[in-house]
Amino acid sequence: MNTYKVVFWGETCPGKSKEAAMIAFADRFGIKCGKQLRSLFSGQANTIKHGLDKTYARRLALAIEEIGCRSRIECEKTASRGTYQTAPDKGIQLNYAVIPSTYPQGLDKKLAQALAKEPKRLSVNLGQNRSRSSF
């Protein structure tokens, strides 16, 4: 599943003053620090939020647009279990994540004991007809 991030760089929509946009942005997103607000409107790209699904990213971008500012939605790379690399002389190699080879303390013994036991068998008693109570 792809995840998305919303990027904001402080550009306002045409017809909206920067000061009015800053005040509306601070009110909408609860920013109380003037230094943080100035850094958001500095012109450099800032990630407002990342790891979002597509719907939430669109909602956040629309909220920023309603304030009178511009933003963009960028797709983040999805995490995979293995990554592929090509080496000039060896072809394609698959690098897996490192999985610890040891169990937590005592878990290996409990697992061995559980596997050594005979499984319990369930039996059904059909010999007696019991009347069941009704509700």
Q: Which CATH number does the domain housing residue 43 bear?
A: 3.30.1390.10
Going by C-beta distance under 8 Å and a sequence separation of 6 or more, which residues neighbour residue 92? 84, 85, 86
On whether residue 133 sits in a domain, the answer given is: no
Tens of pLDDT along the chain (135 residues) come to: 789 999 999 899 888 999 999 999 999 989 998 898 999 999 999 999 999 998 999 999 999 999 999 999 999 876 544 444 444 444 444 444 444 445 566 666 776 777 777 766 666 655 555 555 555
Would the pTM of this model clear 0.85, i.e. be above it?
Answer: no
Q: Is 87 exposed, middle or buried (0-12, 13-18, 19+ CB in 10 A)?
A: exposed
On whether residue 14 sits in a domain, the answer given is: yes
On whether residue 110 sits in a domain, the answer given is: yes
On whether residue 134 sits in a domain, the answer given is: no
Closest CA to 103 of 94, 112, 93, 95: 112
User: According to DSSP H, which parts of 1-135 are helical?
Assistant: 18-29, 34-40, 54-67, 107-116
d(Cα 135, Cα 132) in Å, to the nearest integer? 10
Question: What total of structural domains would you count in the chain?
Answer: 1
Residue 89: give the domain boundaries: 1-117
On whether residue 123 sits in a domain, the answer given is: no
